[in-house]
Structure 1
């Protein structure tokens, strides 16, 4: 290991040599004892060490949490944009006969809308069709759990049977006294050709017999023969439905699309098509009327003829402020032209807060999905039924978008 020699001038005295040596010996010690920059800053902060450490840890957590919050907000915005884009895509060709319950506002209950009525009883019916003689044999076996229209508890039931293809030929059973489960064991035969079979419908009406007053209707059963397997004897139990459905079946169905934009206050009604209409008429057209604050706006489609399933695809726009949407009554009527008359009403529909059933469901779907067209099939109703609904003073208060 090399040695370092310090050369001292010859003329320097011993005292000077000693002082120089001491100065060089003391300089390294002073350099090693000088505190660093971090230690100097730490000593100058007038805070306890534990408090200073807590502040530093909190600042580090804040720096880490800020980027995480920004990333979460961006993800939420992307999800909302994707959901909004998915809601705006609508296929009007997939319109169904009834709306799905998850699309309806939760405040609108099926019981309030009248979709879940009370049970009216059951019928045991047998069907047998002879394709050679083109005869349909209908056997009415028995009924069970019939509901009395009044509070008497028992009724005098009998049945009326006919086909929609030949409503003039009606078979009536015997009257059974004071019972809710009559045993009929009667049969009747109808002439039905193979061409009429797909569109024919069997109607069985159960009525309560009254000697000195009109007979009360207990229920009605509709059996479409086109969808029934008549190659062998068919016997099963059927649930009775509400009366008057056979008349509605003959009126036909109408497909409508509704769209409401709250920001601009525009209600758009699109009359798409109809089906199952009465044959023998020269043409069909649709009238759309909007009733609001004792005012009426009328629109009418063009006449479509030579078919029982006309296709219209015509749109009508009405100005409806957002504050008045709960007071709107939309009346849609289907008219038919014949060679003897310019036009006769075939059926009507009422949509709005005073409507019932599927019409009210359709209206609530439109309010729940603003700016989106909602299409649905509706079965036409008779004028008397729509008139009763219009006479009501108040309607349901449906939840509005953004409320």
Structure 2
């Protein structure tokens, strides 16, 4: 006898399509149409692939050495087969940088030169300097002179904490046309030191015979190694300045001098104030005998209102009395708004640090040169009245 299969004991076949699926259920639960969902998924995939491609390209670009563009590749002048001489071709900027293994570079100067046949003066424009050679930073300034004018020189303003100073200063020197072929322009770059010798940074000696006086020339010149600094036969003077704006009191303390001529018998310092290019006030120190390094340490005070400060010139002069009965000036220092170089910087430091004494050494300049820079106006004496 056969038994009928029990419907409860038989296992029904399992269909795979009846199991729940995660992705279709999620898609079915989204209230957006299906074509919108597919577009969003496609856009996300494209964005992800683009990001991966960018990351791969950046990694490969960093590992690969960068090639120099063809328009900036250095071209050797020796390989150029042409009749053009190399000194007519302006060198590339990369060639001006100091090369390893070559001669030591001291920097370069941008100068402009112009000669005026009418006034017989050569006009020197010192524009800027670059890549000065020193350890760390410096406070550079320039000293310009011409070999045919002994004792005449121009000092620029001191530029703080830079090896690429922008001077933009102009000076003139009297050079007759007959002396032009044998004259030499000398530009010294020095590092300003307040209480010690100034450190030379480089030097340029340019024979004016190589300059065409018919044209205005402006070009870069390579600096050479600094030469020995010229001896100062007139010596140096140390003094301090202090100005109090509220009371209008200018205090000058004459400290000491050094490097004076041993043949001077008796020396003293005269302090003089000029107002509107006319002599105004003057005082002098005590005399020191038989020494090349006299020590004074004497203070002098002047009442100078702040409104008149821009019209005042301060002159400190070292005077000497020899075997003769009369005294003569050995050297002078001019300070004030019309000064230049180191004295002008000292005057500016005094104004920038009010109520504080600022001491500094100064080289004595030729008395004739200082008097020429002052251009003092003569005092007009009153004419006597004629009685009728």
The structure where helix makes up a greater share of residues is 1
TM range (shorter): 0.3 to 0.5
The TM-score, its normalising length taken from structure 1, stands at: 0.40
| RCO higher in structure (CA 8 A, sep ≥6) | 1
The TM-score, its normalising length taken from structure 2, stands at: 0.41
